Amino acid sequence: MSFQTGVRAWRFAGPLVALAISAFGASGAAMAANTTAAEAGVTADTILLGQSAALTGPAATLGKQMNAGARLYFDHINQQGGIYGRKIVIEALDDYHEPEPAARNTKKLIEESRVFALFGYVGTETSQAALPLATQAGVPFFGPYTGAQSLRQPRNRYVFHVRAGDNEETAAILRQIQTTGLKRIAVVYNDDDYGKAGLEGLERALKASPDSGVQIVAREGVIRNTMEIGDAMQGTMKASPDAVVMISAYRTAGAFVKEAVRRGYNGQFYNVSFVGTQALAKQVGPLGSGVIISQVMPHPGNATLPVVREYLRLLQAAGRQNEFDYASIEGFVAAKAFTEGLRRAGKDLTREKLVTALESMRNFDLGGYIVNFTPENHIGSKFVEMTVINSRGQVIR
């Protein structure tokens, strides 16, 4: 897809590539310079958000799509005059899906750009690197693209999740496996916090279903952000599993699926939503037929839901009707939920008022997708459904 719509300037700061995204042409730095003394990131006519995500590198599709979906909705709101006359601007910095750049980006966004809130971070380890900085500064951290339990418990006043967590996804995968009668499963997981969180979620689900007869016969770690699958492939094939559950991103998962099929493996593959659904389908091609992926967002082509119809209508208006994507609609849904929080916070906007406003969004309907925030609960959804890649590379429910 084109990543140029709405892009106004590239900035280079040491090794970081910064992308200032604005619906009306001002750079994030200029926004920060005009920020009122009352609240960082808020002026008479702007609200500045900060995002750190992979915009280049092996996970770039996830970061670009998350950003594009959010920008699609924020642009729509800005064209209508914004929220109380303020337009929403995102300053997005590239972290290559690595924690150290994510921490540097977060420090820069908070201390130099003086953003009002952090939005749409992509990844478990990158979010974990950013969260202590956000919490210390009292900056809301909204809608990260991660299901890790470590970011959900204990509850953090400044963190709000729009998606279901890894525990919900892995439990749904186990239920699906149980319905098929498969018993022996291998788990191929990133050797990082994201992969280990997924593995732990699956193990927890198995303990909760002791009579299922399902057992993990192999646990194989892979290096994150690479296609180095040799050792994991050898261990998995040796265990002769009925199914392989993958907790990884699309490049690694795609390489594993293709190599396993090439070797004659005819078992079932499962992936969690973070894999990057459309990117995985594109990478595996016809060999991916039958690969099952759990999803925490509505199908981006399911126009029976009002929120999806709105998403598709705005994509078409932007000339991007063929670019619908799961990561993109997640950014769209997160942006819509965040915007409702801004409305509820009122014209005299502060970070604390935003947090209180978000906590008032009990069972709020975004258009067929419900988010439920309360003072005791910042996990907005537990929605999970299963999808499959068909022989034409399409993702269907």
Is there a domain that residue 394 lies in? no
Residues 350, 316: one domain? yes
Residues 215, 312: one domain? no
Positions of the chain with pLDDT under 70? 1-38
Residues 286, 312: one domain? no
Is there a domain that residue 353 lies in? yes
Is there a domain that residue 300 lies in? no
**Which distant-in-sequence residues (6+ apart) come within 8 Å of 69 by Cβ?**
311, 325, 327, 328, 329, 330, 331, 332, 333, 334, 335
Residues 84, 232: one domain? no
Residues 14, 159: one domain? yes
Phi, psi of 315 (to 5 degrees): -60, -45
**What is the value of pTM for the model shown?**
0.90
Is there a domain that residue 384 lies in? no
Q: Give the count of domains, the chain.
A: 2
pLDDT value for 2? 38
Is there a domain that residue 2 lies in? no
**Which distant-in-sequence residues (6+ apart) come within 8 Å of 261 by Cβ?**
287
Distance, in Å, from the CA atom of 75 to the CA atom of 395, rounded to the nearest integer, reads 28
Residues 239, 322: one domain? no
Residues 21, 148: one domain? yes
Residues 92, 237: one domain? no
pLDDT value for 38? 64
pLDDT value for 264? 97
Smallest CA-to-CA distance from 102 within 58, 74, 132 is with 132
Is there a domain that residue 354 lies in? yes
Domain of 62, CATH number, reads 3.40.50.2300
Which residue range is the domain that position 108 belongs to? 7-164+305-371
Smallest CA-to-CA distance from 162 within 69, 94, 78, 100 is with 69
pLDDT value for 300? 96
End residue of a domain, out of 233, 262, 295: 295
Residues 72, 215: one domain? no
Is there a domain that residue 350 lies in? yes
pLDDT value for 21? 41
Residues 290, 236: one domain? yes
Residues 196, 289: one domain? yes
143-165 pLDDT, tens digit each = 999 999 999 999 999 999 999 99
Residues 157, 36: one domain? yes
